[in-house]
Chains A and B, each alone.
Chain A
């Protein structure tokens, strides 16, 4: 019923979909799987009319379609259940379901009873019992997912896209959802199901498509393949990626944290970090890595945690205190919580270290700051249109380099980098990798959080795998023996 031919898409010159073919049959659950950044989300966003494709054809029900707005896709019969929910919390379940296609009289007054009845009927058909009059904000995330599904049904959707619907559901809720999915399937509705949990995909889907690096790798009947096959196809062999060599020597423990917990996100995290070592934190998005690192510097209030830096207890009461002790956390989100986008590079680099750039009157020496910035521009090969350019005008790769330079200026003892190369080009990527390794070699303890499996494995001397807010495995990788399969096995819930 849905047939994509040669669909391409790029963001800012970065191609994320390479002439992708993809199809869905009526009444099948088609699983879509791939690492983070493989292009799955981009693809489904194009199908749902949220993004526009650059090239290629989309056929739906045998007709060539071109959705300019999600609304058009919806009326055509394609609905999407979003990963971050798109429901309005302060209004009722029934109203959310019928948003923009309200049951109302000619004067525009909503017929609440009809909407509640309609919602109740849909829920009954789905076999779930959610109160249509309850405000959506009062429901658990699991039930909100089901409300989104109900919304799709109310729109008479014939193709429903579910983007990681199970990522925040309990086992019971997942079982619930699967009953609903099977029922939809039986009614001839096509379903695209994105998930990282392989066991689930094998349980629910009919066919499975693997994406990697914006390319369609394979589509197989679920009966034909095994979990191992899928992992193989997902991770592929990135022989082309060159990473710097592993640590030449690893020193003493420089940083130790014990029982770091953050309510709702992280449970009793304990680990140590050695001088000269790069420690990688692997895991799926939402497994609690970022939250754990933010809890260490207490950017978000932690529940518990004790820290030792060079064998002496430190309190790390806030990011300021952490930075004073030499522990620097670099955010995964350079735009929201990393850079000061309206300011130029020297202002950014001096953000944590203004007090170091003072003349003899105690006043800020901008010349000194700019000189320092210049040295970073050289060592990090940052390309600037001009010295005073605002960082918002730089490319992603250059922004990321500025972010790293800003973190290096306080001369950290422990550097925690979250997603060091997200959304940057290959050149910047290998440069950042090289700098991080040099840093470790100079005796700094480096922690890398990354959702890109090759990066974690390629960069780290040791890997902690996160799942559900806890470390599920510690893998020694000094010999480079860790494989993506090993990590994936511990990261996913079998």
Chain B
């Protein structure tokens, strides 16, 4: 993060990112020392990174709505609904491209409904997206009656795309770099840059920091709110496309509990439920941290089932850390 960006968001965000990076490096180093062959193997690292792909996209979606003082609990279930829609269409012989765009339409429709109810009807984001969470998951289940939907008739490139790897030769060993991961990283990088540097997107921060002041500053608050839920929906759609492609099935139970992980990662990364802050780099580091801790549990022969608990503990620790800092600075 370059120094000019610090002026945009709270100054502490940048130090927060430094801190998160440090924590990530520490975890990485710890694991690399304790379990050199298991952790530092490319297979393991690749697995960690690949698993992160979807969480990253959903956490981006969450970050965008958190910035405008919102929350989106429906990311996981909209992911499922989108995946199911695309899979059903492709199963029935619809070509990949139209099917994928139909999926986008579904995701955006969910985002639009969220945004309209929040901005125009003035209902709490938490309640709106809670309702949407139930509705979207329900629809996905209704459409599939809970079955896996495979789509053998779909063009092959779609099913291979999600698993494609670039093979990179360094010395004698080959490293396979998953294409989806690269695309996601590129998208996130681009989005992070635009969010901080494109006036259109930067205004989202103002909307979240103080909706009333934003309104009087000539920012159309309602439109920005709706836009942020649409952007979130687009991220969710992207995750759905990658997931459907990689697993080659559409399934109504995709993304269960993903909204909580996404929220935890975004909050750890510096976003706040009271709006106006949040950073793409921070969220990325938050996702990475949760992924590394999860991986660490498995490698340290810990019970992998504890993974989920660590997400909650990390979330609470982050919140407590902020509280202590707030007390100290008297803010």
Contact = CB atoms under 8 A, between A and B. Distances in A.
Asked whether any CB of A lies within 8 Å of a CB of B in the complex, the reply is: yes
Interface of A: 297, 299, 318-320, 322-324, 328-331, 336-344, 346-347, 351-352, 354-355, 357-358, 362-364, 366-367, 370, 388, 390, 392, 406, 410
Given A338-B213, A342-B209, A343-B10, 8 more contacts: A320-B220, A324-B218, A336-B212, A343-B9, A351-B217, A367-B4, A390-B11, A406-B217
B199 A354 contact: yes
A451 to B, nearest CB: 19
Interface in B196-218: 196-199, 202-203, 205-206, 209-210, 212-218
A319 B216 contact: yes
A351 B220 CA distance: 12
A347 B8 contact: yes
A370 B213 contact: no
Given A331-B213, A336-B210, A410-B218, A366 B8 contact: yes
Contact of A323 (B203, B212, B218): B218
A343 B8 contact: yes
Given A319-B215, A363-B198, A342 B277 contact: yes
B7 interface: yes
A274 to B, nearest CB: 24
17 contacts: A299-B215, A319-B215, A320-B219, A329-B216, A331-B212, A336-B210, A342-B209, A343-B9, A343-B10, A343-B205, A343-B209, A346-B7, A351-B213, A354-B203, A355-B199, A364-B197, A367-B4
B296 interface: no
Interface of B: 4-11, 196-199, 202-203, 205-206, 209-210, 212-220, 276-277, 331
B217 A363 contact: no
Contacts of B277: 342
Contact of A347 (B7, B197, B198): B7
B197 A388 contact: no
Contacts of A388: 6-7, 11
Contact of B206 (A318, A319, A322, A340): A340
A355 B202 CA distance: 10
A324 B4 CA distance: 28
Contacts of A339: 210, 213
A340 B199 contact: no
B218 A322 contact: yes
Contacts of B10: 342-343, 390
B196 A364 contact: yes
A342 B276 CA distance: 8
A340 B213 contact: yes
B7 A344 contact: yes
A318 B276 contact: no
Which residue among B4, B11, B218, B331 has the maximum number of chain A CB atoms within 10 Å of its CB? B218
B218 A363 contact: no
Contacts of B196: 364
A224 to B, nearest CB: 48
Contacts of A318: 220
